[in-house]
A and B are shown apart, each in its own frame.
Chain A
Amino acid sequence: EVQVVESGGGLVQRGGSLRLSCAASGFTFSSYWMHWVRQAPGKGLVWVSRINTDGSITNYADSVKGRFTVSRDNAKKTVYLQMNSLRDEDTAVYSCAREYCSNTSCKLGYNWFDPWGQGTLVVVSS
């Protein structure tokens, strides 16, 4: 079964740090870009970060740039999100997702997220 499973969330003080992990299985992990998306309680989906297949390219949302770092270990089939200087507004469920395209859609550059994980909850509190 193709799946990703997040872990590492929890309660952290404002200004603190946390490292999230996302373990992949059922597919050739090293062939896919991976993304992090977050969803604050009762709110919508917000893209956070992405990393390319070998970890040499990373991108971040402006709201987390300079505070969050995405990385991956292809041998462990795991992607990480190191979160520093956490703020109240970082409270959310953090999900990882594989960037995917089908045989036909890849040729035209159409991509989407599949699968997504169930997410791990991060609560930043003073």
Chain B
Amino acid sequence: DIQMTQSPSSLSTSVGDRVTITCRASQSITNYLNWYQQKPGKAPNLLIYAASSLQTGVPSRFRGSGSGTDFTLTISSLQPEDFATYYCQQTYTTPWTFGQGTKVEVK
């Protein structure tokens, strides 16, 4: 199975800050990489697919980049509604594995 490793596991930040989350695959997944946002008690919501394509309706402050094994999710200016946990997911091969999550918390 392909292992997905996110860093950091958590981060404390403030509204308006720039946030960067990284996701590393244990082997090349080209750009078959999704990013989801999950809020407590809610289902995950797709932000980015194909590593850098913004899902319809997702604010442009979210940006995905990377290819091969190293990927990044950047939030350019954190908004109050962005405090949540973020997961990467590879869909290059089954099983479709997730990173362990990055919790973005209020400083």
Q: Taking beta carbons and an 8 Å cutoff, which residues of A are in contact with B?
A: 35, 44-47, 50, 59, 61-62, 95, 102, 105, 108-119
Q: Taking beta carbons and an 8 Å cutoff, which residues of B are in contact with A?
A: 1, 32, 34, 36, 38, 41-44, 46, 49-50, 53, 56, 87, 89, 91, 94-101
Residue pair A108, B50 in contact (C-beta under 8 Å): yes
Residue pair B49, A113 in contact (C-beta under 8 Å): no
Question: CA A114 – CA B58 in complex, angstroms?
Answer: 14
CB distance from A28 to the nearest CB of B (A): 20
Given A105-B53, A109-B32, A110-B91; A46-B46 close (CB under 8 Å)? no
Residue pair B87, A45 in contact (C-beta under 8 Å): yes
Question: CA A46 – CA B56 in complex, angstroms?
Answer: 25
Given A44-B100, A44-B101, A105-B50; A116-B43 close (CB under 8 Å)? yes
Question: CA A116 – CA B42 in complex, angstroms?
Answer: 9
Count A-B contacts at CB 8 Å. Answer: 54
Residue pair B91, A117 in contact (C-beta under 8 Å): no
Residue pair B46, A113 in contact (C-beta under 8 Å): yes
Given A105-B49, A109-B32; A47-B95 close (CB under 8 Å)? yes
Ordered by A's residue number, 22 sampled pairs between the chains whose C-beta atoms are within 8 Å are: A35-B96, A44-B87, A45-B38, A45-B87, A45-B89, A45-B101, A47-B95, A47-B97, A59-B94, A59-B95, A62-B1, A105-B49, A105-B50, A109-B32, A110-B32, A112-B34, A112-B49, A112-B91, A113-B36, A113-B89, A118-B42, A118-B43
- Out of A44, A95, A111, A114, which one reaches B98, CB within 8 Å? A44
| Residues in chain A near residue B34, CB distance under 8 A | 112
- Select from chain B the residue with minimum beta-carbon distance to A101: B49
> Known contacts A110-B53, A112-B34, A119-B43; can you find 17 more A-B pairs with CB under 8 A?
A35-B96, A44-B98, A45-B36, A45-B38, A45-B89, A47-B98, A59-B95, A61-B95, A62-B1, A95-B43, A110-B32, A110-B50, A112-B91, A113-B36, A115-B43, A116-B44, A117-B43
